[in-house]
Amino acid sequence: MSDILLKVKNLQTWLGEGDRPVRAVDGVDLTIRKGETFALLGESGCGKSMTALSIMRLLPPAGRIKGGQVLLGKTSLLDLPEFAMREERGGRMAMIFQEPMTSLNPVMTIGQQIGEAVRIREGVDKESRDLRIIELLNSVGIPDPERRVGEYPHQLSGGMKQRVMIAMALAGRPELLIADEPTTALDVTIQAQVLNLLKTLQQQTGMAILLITHDLGVVAEVADRVAVMYAGQIIEVAESERFFRLPQHPYSQKLFQSLPDSNKRSQRLAVIQGSVPALNQIFTACRFMDRCHRAFGDCHTAPEWTALSDDEGVRCHLSEQPELLQSEVIQQESHQPIASGVGQAPLLDVEDLKVHFPIHKGVFKRTVGYVKAVDGVSLTIAPGKTLALVGESGCGKTTVGKGILQLVKPTEGRVTFETDELTTLSSRALRSRRSELQIIFQDPVASMNPRMLVSDIIEEGMKAQKIVRDSAQRRARVMELLEQVGLPADSASRYPHEFSGGQRQRICVARALAVDPKLIICDEPTSALDVSVQAQILNLLKSLQLSRGLAYLFITHNISVVAYLADEVAVMYLGRIVERGSVDLLLAEPKHPYTQALLSAVPVVESTSRRTVIRLEGDMPSPANPPTGCHFHPRCPIAMEQCRTAYPELRPLPDGRLVSCFKVEDGL
Amino acid sequence: MIAYIIRRMLYAIPILLGVNILTFVLFFVVNSPDDMARMHLGMKRVTTEAIETWKAERGYDKPLLFNQASEGVGQLTDTIFFQKSLKLFQFDFGSSDSDRDIGYDISQRMWPSLAIAIPVLLVGLMVNITYALLIAFFRATYIDIWSVVLCVVMMSISGLFYIIGGQYLVSKLLHLVPISGYDTGLSAIKFLILPVLIGVIGGIGAGTRWYRTLFLEEINRDYVRTARAKGLSEVVVLFRHVLKNAMIPILTGVVVVLPLLFMGSLITESFFGIPGLGSYTIDAISRQDFAIVRAMVFLGSVLYILGLLLTDISYTLVDPRVRLS
Amino acid sequence: MMGELVILWTDALIFMLVLFSMAFGIYAAGKEHLRGPWGLVVRSRVGVSTLVILSFYVVVGLLDSVHFHPLLDSKDQAGQQTQSAEVISLFDYLVTPLRERQEKTYSAPLATHLYAKESIELASGEVVRDFPRLTFGGAHLENPEQEWSRDIWRLTGIGVLKGLLVSVVVTNILIALLAGRWKTSFGAVAKVLIKEETTVPWRVLLATLSSVILVLFWSIELSSQYHILGTDKVGEDVFYQALKSIRTGLLIGTLTTLVMLPAAILLGIMAGYYRGWVDDLIQYTYTTLNSIPGVLLIAAAILMLQIYMSNHADEFNSLVERADLRLLFLCIILGVTSWTGLCRLLRGEAMKLREVDYVQAAVAFGVGHFTIIVRHILPNVLHIVLITVVLDFSGLVLAEAVLSYVNIGVDPTMNSWGNMINSARLEMAREPVVWWSLLASMLFMFVLVLSANLFSDVVRDAFDPRLRSSR
């Protein structure tokens, strides 16, 4: 076919030396047509980034391509000498990376960095080069490009940096743009901007995009075709529409079922048992067999690729018997119905919490201002309930959690837990109350001391709180807790690094449970985890809540997790809550323009529920220097004159929710 | 920026005061003026009168901290601490125990010191950076491995050996340059070549190895991958991206020692008979002339603090991310 | 034989250090995160071979750290054996011939004659100016001119033969031990060893060990009849001096860090963990100390000590004791000037760690500050301490030479490479040059420092995962 742009045949990339190298890419075949968006979907460690880097021949020093063929048009990339390969890189194909923060040279201006790419393609005439740089910056939607060319990367926000990366990639007018998780490090509203930009650029230039991602939602938003990668191999290729309607491979099916959303609230999420096999072995059986719920005898031999149509196919023995492939009966376990906790006194009552960090300046380091990380947040949580605190990075939601726990001293406000006012407790009295409030962190690696055994980690709280004084009893309790969070008993005598991310997060849950808390603050506990693992943790949290009557303050930016788990939602913007209400009301019919934009920007899997994205311009301002009036007004699509001068109070609506917006008040 | 510099200057005052108090304690409390006099006049059989005269001549006959005999401010100023230690703040170094003006000596002797230290620094920097870049270009090859081995071997050899070996080989066997000595003007060059050469060679091992680490660290960064993805050649990547970023730690590392160059190199200068501040210090140490040692301690501290300040300022110049506040 | 033990200050400290390292070893064996990197160290070829060489130095140093009064042959009135007032070490005792065979003045390595012409009275009563025969070096030769080279070869042959014999025995013992441990046959182990298919590079270890043994026996054999590295100005054997200097070098390299560690660790962690005024105070302290040029501070302190010692000469029992105290003092003052670097590193690390999630989690459990520091911060900075200690070692050994050269190092009566270089330097102007003292000290120092440098590289790579991944 003439419209084929890139063809990858049996690509093999190994990492590391020695007799057991990691076979990161183990026989990948791909075909990308001109002008299409092809998504390579997979969980972390499946080899999708290595595939992209192999195509670009930009592997890290430890990696080497062991075999296969990569054809860009008629050029065989792997056979090119390095100097000719340089022509292709940044020429016919370009790449953008996951971390815009570190992917730009910190000591060169934006103009210089784009100029370098322009210069290779367009020659050295300075005037036309400058024009081209401005043109490129314009095309990626960077406002005021004449000024921006002289700025350094650190002066730009994450979204802007990714735009600069895209501009740089466009300099060579590529036919293929490889985008390696281009929006993973960005907030949803910014992600929506960047995805939209990529789409527009594709329409203008007709380039093909190889989009590497782990996010099913992103795939659903932009991809024409999808390839699913698992353990170094592609296991399914499909048209995007068909893939979301009718995934073929059991792994793909499970991925969809493990996605949380509001419809699954009463159910346990489907999980994929176990974890991805280590890639430093030679497989004889199907790679997914050990985790597959439909594995059968044939699976002990590795399945071949089965083409379902011209460019669709699946790597599964079930596909050899088409009648079996779709006959799966989905059985969902359900959670026990939730005991109603209405009418009880609130467990936690936060009133007007403020956390300000001083800014020092001048000869004597006088305080000249404050970073108002949290600027008057009020919320309540009833026993056994979940309040989700939602917002983009930098809105202060994590600081709220730490302020409640007194890990950061609040500047103002009251934090009442049951009957105690935490902010005024002596450090001694506070210490003794700490067993009742616990926290689970985002990063499962950083949240455990790598030098301690799991049993010591779990015991630490019990010892500090003097809950169980007898060491044998403590031991027994550790075992009990490990069982509760679904870890084998021998975990106790191992070190954290021997566990996978999901298992570590379970240990963290066990650690928090050890002191019998009534409230757990969960600070993005699943955002570092893959979807299938996220489901395991969400299931665990939910069942623990039901069995122990725990209350959660769930800090997250993931709306689907909120929909699945939360009873109430509070949306934060720049240190303040802009809307608060029950989860059904708020997600179904957001009132505050920020909430509306935030929800609309979330990429969704179901094509039916797709809504028009409200695109927010610009970035969140700095909490050191918030805008006058309503903090949101510079980005608000419906801002009025009034919004520029006064901050709207958080007022109750008739349906019980609280909103801080003049427009909503006017609408009443 | 200016506020920052002023603050740093103010912060330097307590530090210099601390330095002064420390040296004061070492020199006048642990080792009293009587001890000094006795040592200078010969250990045994010294009359009390001789000691008193010696002390009076050099102003060590005053009380240490508080002079009850004086009146008013004099009670504090007419003391050894004020006269000998605090005067240093005005860069009034006084005279040495052998009655020479220390300030004058320093101003005379700093030039020979600089004549060696500056070329050593500049040539060394050039040689080391070039070599390290070469290694970085050929990273993970045998050139890299053996260069690192060579660096470790070179840095394991005592600096004394370079000097003695160099003097023996170049001056004594080959008779290329004089063994030691110094002259003014252009004729100094023949005295300077060998010490500079040896200074550079002695620094290659540690310097190159450190720069190599810096370069390799930068080479593994994401933005280098971006640069390669643009289609830039390896040489351009190395020079425009890697070198530019690695220059930040290199330059600031150099800036911090810049002021200290005035102090000269103790060993080199004394081996080669260069009349710089280094040999001045050594002579003072061996003659046990505490006035000079005291002055040099103070001077060294001032220069060190200046070096720290210059380092911070140089950061703002080479790294656009750093703003002083 | 051995009389009353004399425990010098540095001896006590060095054995404390040995005990401490053993205790740490036992502690580390139980901790995976400490055992693992050491496993990497002994799996590296450079690691094991430098370890062998370093342990040779350590053995000499330790032998040289057991001091006592030797017993004299004579008996006192009570029938008790009298002991000498002199203090010698176990090492001195072992190499007694080296120590006691003094010549008159300089002689070249392996020489049979002195280095300077003297007036010699012949048997005939005639006086000629010639190089006189040495009292000990090659004294067994009738006719040195003809027999000398043959004798050297003979002794070399014997030495190498003995060395080979011992190496073979050692190799066999090791293989037998390994065979016992791995529960396989002797032959199988030998085969695996030769092909080097073991995780620990035993072959490299054995090769290094054998070379050390060979050199050792060769020098023992030769030094029984000659001064293999010549003699110095007062006729002392240079080889003996160089060996004696090992203890000094090791002491400076290890005791200095030992002395500064408590302060550096405690203050560094406190500054980083507590912040605020504690941090300000500690930062002020180390900036002040740091801003004084190190050499000058050392010079000032050593000069003070000298004056103190000459004023209170009667407080010291012997020259050895006096020199020892000066060495200890030098270590302390070197420690004072060098703790700031580690302190600053630890401060930065503690500052990072106190914000890390697991420390926050501990705070959320109500764990006390002290417990947090001991349980969470300290174990996680230990690798930095270890790397610094190992890295500092070689620098300190080199520094000793320079300081002794400026006369602010160890006591001039003490054997040290610096003192050897210092005295040899004065003879460089002689014609022909007296080069052996210089070369001997440089060689001994170079081997130690090179091994230490290579070893520290291996240790750093093993303990610093960030570096490991960048390889």
Q: What is the pLDDT of residue A343?
A: 55
- What letters, b where the CB count within 10 A reaches 16 and e where it falls short, cover B68-86? eeeeeeebeebbbbbebbb
Q: What is the pLDDT of residues C176-233, one digit of tens each?
A: 888 888 888 888 888 888 887 778 888 888 899 999 999 999 998 888 888 888 888 8
Mean pLDDT over A299-312 rounds to 85
Highest average pLDDT, of B180-184, B200-204, C26-30, C117-121, comes from B200-204
For residue A313, CA distances in Å to A29, A235, A310 come to 11, 8, 8
Is residue A36 domain-resident? Answer: yes
Q: What is the pTM of this model?
A: 0.87
Residue C445 forms contact with B (CB below 8 Å) = yes
Distance of residue B75 Cα from the nearest chain C Cα, in angstroms: 28
Residue whose C-alpha is closest to residue A460's, from A446, A477, A445: A477
Last residue of a domain, one of A149, A173, A197: A173
Q: Are residues A414 and A483 in the same domain?
A: yes
Predicted confidence at residue A105, as pLDDT, reads: 93
User: Which pLDDT does position C470 carry in this prediction?
Assistant: 37
The 3-state DSSP class for residue C107 equals: strand
pLDDT at A96: 93
Read off the tokens for B303: 């220069």
The rounded distance, in Å, linking the Cα atoms of C75 and C217 is: 36
Alpha carbons C371 and C273: distance in angstroms, whole number: 12
Rg (CA), chain C: 26
State the pLDDT at residue C453.
92
Q: Kindly tell me if the per-residue pLDDT of B292 is higher than 50.
A: yes
Residue A588 contacts residue A178 (beta carbons within 8 Å)? no
The DSSP output letter for A303 is P
Q: How far is A243 from chain B (nearest CA, A)?
A: 32
pLDDT, greater one: C47 or B33: C47
Instruction: Single out the residue of C230, C220, C239 nearest to residue C104, CA to CA.
Output: C230
Q: According to the per-residue pLDDT averaged within each range, which of B152-156, B188-192, C387-391 is highest?
A: B152-156
- CA distances (Å), origin A624, targets A358, A359, A617, A620: 9, 8, 20, 12
Q: In this structure, are residues A583 and A562 in contact, taking their beta carbons and an 8 Å threshold?
A: yes
Give the pLDDT mean for A406-431.
89
* Pick from B228, B231, B320: CB nearest A107: B320
Mean pLDDT of A369-377: 89
pLDDT tens, residue by residue, B267-280 = 888 888 888 898 88
- The complex's ipTM? 0.85
Query: Which residues have CB under 8 Å from C375's CB, separation 6+?
Result: A449, A452, A460, C362, C367
- One domain for residues A543 and A633: yes
Band of residue B44 on the pLDDT scale cut at 50, 70, 90: low
Subunits with 3+ C-beta pairs closer than 8 A to C: A, B
Tell me if A515 and C360 make a contact (CB, 8 A cut-off).
Answer: no
Those residues with Cβ within 8 angstroms of residue A113's Cβ, 6 or more apart along the chain or in another chain: A104, A105, A164, A168
What are the φ and ψ backbone dihedral angles of B140, each rounded to 5 degrees? 60, 25
Least confident of A113-122, A275-284, A397-406, C73-82: C73-82
Q: How confident is the model at residue C468 (pLDDT cuts 50, 70, 90)?
A: very low
Q: Summarize pLDDT for A467-489 with one digit per residue, the tens.
A: 888 889 999 999 999 998 888 88
Tell me the pLDDT tens digit for each residue of A533-572: 888 899 999 999 988 889 999 999 888 899 999 999 999 9
Candidates B153, B158, B266; nearest CB to C401: B158
Q: What is the pLDDT of residues C424-449, one digit of tens each?
A: 877 777 777 788 888 899 999 999 99
- What pLDDT band is residue A9 in, cutting at 50, 70 and 90? very high
- Cα–Cα distance between A269 and A502 in angstroms, integer? 15
Q: Which pLDDT score, from 0 to 100, does residue C183 have?
A: 84
| Measured distance CA(A248)–CA(A316) in Å, rounded | 9
Cβ contact (<8 Å) for A86 and B232?
A: yes
What residue of B is the nearest CA neighbor of A88?
A: B231
Let me know whether A373 and A521 are in one domain. Answer: yes
**Boundary (domain end) residue, out of A173, A189, A205:** A173
Q: Kindly write down the DSSP assignment for every residue of A206-234, as one continuous string.
A: --EEEEEES-HHHHHHH-SEEEEEETTEE
Q: How many CB pairs under 8 A join A and C?
A: 61
Lowest mean pLDDT: which of A130-144, A468-482, A596-610, C32-46?
Answer: A596-610
Residue with the larger pLDDT of the pair A633 and B96: A633
Instruction: Examine the pLDDT at A328 and tell me if it is beyond 70.
Output: no
Total number of domains in chain A: 3
Give the start-to-end residue ranges of the domains of chain C. Answer: 2-65+237-470
Nearest neighbour of C376 by CB, restricted to A439, A449, A515 = A449
CATH number for the domain spanning A412: value is: 3.40.50.300
Mean pLDDT, residues A639-654: 88
- Determine the residue among A55, A87, A105, A162 to mutate to test chain B binding: the one whose Cβ has the most chain B Cβ atoms within 10 Å: A105
How far apart are alpha carbons C219 and C223 in whole angstroms? 6
Does the pLDDT value for residue A490 go beyond 50?
A: yes
When pLDDT is cut at 50, 70 and 90, the band that residue A2 belongs to is low
- Tens digit of pLDDT for each residue in B158-188? 888 898 888 888 888 888 888 788 887 778 8
Domain coordinates in residue numbering, chain B: 2-90, 103-318
Residues B63-82: pLDDT tens digits? Answer: 777 777 777 776 777 777 77
Model confidence at A491: pLDDT above 50: yes
- Mean pLDDT confidence for A61-81: 90
Final residue belonging to a domain, choices A173, A203, A230: A173
Q: Are B215 and B128 in contact (CB under 8 A)?
A: no
R_g of chain B, CA atoms, integer Å: 25
> Measured between beta carbons, which residues in chain B are less than 8 angstroms from residue C296?
281, 293, 296-297, 300
Identify all chain B residues contacting A169, using CB atoms and an 8 Å cutoff: 229
Reduced to 3 states (helix: H, G, I; strand: E, B; else coil), residue B267 is: helix
Q: Does C405 touch chain B (CB under 8 A)?
A: yes
Beta strand A306-309 with A233-239 is unpaired
Q: Is C360 on the interface with A (CB under 8 A)?
A: yes
Looking at domain B103-318, its CATH architecture is Orthogonal Bundle (1.10)
Q: pLDDT tens digits for B109-154?
A: 888 899 899 999 999 999 999 999 999 999 888 999 999 999 999 9
Using the beta-carbon criterion (under 8 Å), do A438 and C364 form an inter-chain contact? yes
Across the range C145-162, mean pLDDT stands at 88
In a domain, residue A574? The reply is yes
Nearest to A89 among B139, B222, B229 (CB): B229
Among partner residues C367, C371, C379, which is closest to A451 by beta-carbon distance?
A: C379
pLDDT for C8: 87
Q: Closest-CA residue in chain B for A152?
A: B320
Per-residue pLDDT of A206-225, as tens digits, reads 999 999 999 898 998 899 99
The tens digit of pLDDT for each residue in B9-32 reads: 888 889 998 988 888 887 777 777
- Per-residue pLDDT at C15 exceeds 50: yes
- List the domain range (segments joined by +) for residue A112: 108-173
List of chain A residues whose C-beta atoms are within 8 Å of the C-beta of residue C356:
446
Which residues in chain C have their CB less than 8 angstroms from residue A508's CB? 361
Chain C residues 370-399 within an 8 A CB cutoff of chain B? 394, 398
- Using the structure block, give the residue that is written with the tokens 């956390």: A355
**Three-state DSSP class for residue B307:** helix
User: Taken in order A539, A544, A545, A550, is the CA torsion positive or negative?
Assistant: negative
C40 touching chain A per CB within 8 A: no
- At residue C469, the pLDDT reads 39
Does the domain made of C2-65+237-470 have the CATH classification 3.30.200.20? no
- Nearest beta carbon to residue B15 from set C288, C398, C402: C288
Q: Is the pLDDT of residue A94 over 90?
A: yes
A336 lies in a domain? no
pLDDT of A341 higher than 60: no
Residues A300 and A281 occupy one common structural domain: yes
Same domain flag for A190 and A295: yes
Inter-chain residue contact A117 with B230, CB threshold 8 Å? yes
Categorize the per-residue pLDDT at C124 as very low, low, confident or very high, splitting at 50, 70 and 90. Answer: confident
- Whether the per-residue pLDDT at A609 is higher than 70: the answer is no
Phi, psi of C415 (to 5 degrees): -75, 120
Q: Write out the residues of chain A at the interface with chain B, using a CB-CB cutoff of 8 A.
A: 56, 58, 60-61, 83, 86-91, 94-95, 97, 99, 102-108, 116-117, 120, 152, 154, 165, 168-169, 171-172, 360-365
**Quick one: CA dihedral C136, C141, C142, C145, positive or negative?**
negative
Find the chain A residues whose C-beta atoms sit closer than 8 A to any C-beta of C.
402, 405, 407, 430-432, 434-435, 437-439, 441-443, 446-452, 460-461, 464-465, 495, 508, 511, 515
Whether the predicted pLDDT of A527 surpasses 90:
no
Name the residue among C288, C297, C457 with its Cβ closest to that of B18.
C288
Of C33, C366, C376, the CB nearest to A464: C366
Residues A208 and A133 in one domain: no
